[in-house]
Amino acid sequence: MIKTVNLHKLFTTDEVETTALNGVSIEIQPGEFVAMMGPSGCGKSTLLNILGLLDNPSEGEYYFFGTEVAKMSERNRANLRKGNIGFVFQSFNLIDELSVYENVELPLLYMKTPAAERKKKVEAQLERMNIMHRRNHFPQQLSGGQQQRVAIARAVVAEPKVILADEPTGNLDSTNGLEVMNLLTQLNQGGTTIVMVTHSPHDAGFAHRVINLFDGRVVTENFHV
């Protein structure tokens, strides 16, 4: 389970202080598919980055599957992230200098997965995401929808417990967006916990539950049936 207690996040830049999170307490059960919504600037990405162990809160507690991680060092966070958490971003965030195959292989290289097993896992994801035929191409040679499928393959190749997606369909047309939502749904049905930030009520409809944020706080949590 993912559980936060009274998370605060304060950013200080050029002597300007911004309270991005102002007391966020949430619980997400293993296997849930949760959507996070709210106006621009309300703290969605900040919360997702903390949940994904990319950043620490200024205050509060965060339990990631039982381990308190709010005050972990960058190095320990990075170790826990490996193999446990996969990220998908609006802008895909692929590495332009690496081929499709190499982008997907990267998390397994970080985890020092043996070569034969790496090959098997990368190829399985390329097949599943229907992108095998573009394995030797580079990100800039692909359409947005194809790039996002590569990014999802990279996020899931190490079989993480949790996938965090920050507006994953934000740069896609409706056909490609629907394909991405179907892939996320399939992963969730396979047992992966998913937390997705979205502006789209249509995309939020794929989730079990919507958490609404406003001004750094949770305002409502609506359950879908």
Please report whether residue 212 would count as binding Mg ion according to CB under 5 A: no
With CB under 6 A as the contact rule, the residue among 15, 17, 40, 225 that binds ligand ADP is: 40
18 binds ligand ADP per the rule CB under 6 A: yes
Task: Compute the distance between CA of residue 24 and CA of residue 5 in angstroms, rounded to an integer.
Answer: 7
Question: Residue 185: what are its φ and ψ, rounded to 5°?
Answer: -60, -45
- For ligand ADP, which residue of 13, 73, 140, 175 counts as binding (CB under 6 A)? 13
Asked if 139 and 95 count as a contact pair (C-beta separation under 8 A), the reply is yes
Contact indicator for 4, 25 with CB cutoff of 8 Å: yes
CA distances from 164 to 11, 23, 99, 142 (A): 22, 21, 23, 23
* Choices 36-44, 58-66, 73-81, 177-185 (CB under 6 A): range interacting with ligand ADP: 36-44
Beta bridge partners of 217: 214
Cβ-based neighbours of 87, under 8 Å, separated by 6 or more: 52, 54, 93, 155, 163, 164, 165, 166
Which of 4, 45, 56, 90 is close enough to bind Mg ion by CB under 5 A? 45
56 is a contact residue toward ligand ADP (CB under 6 A) = no
Contact residue for ligand ADP among 43, 52, 57, 107 (CB under 6 A): 43
Stretch that binds ligand ADP, among 10-18, 80-88, 91-99, 182-190 (CB under 6 A): 10-18
- What residues line the site for ligand ADP (CB under 6 A)? 11, 13, 18, 20, 38, 40-46
- What residues line the site for Mg ion (CB under 5 A)? 44-45
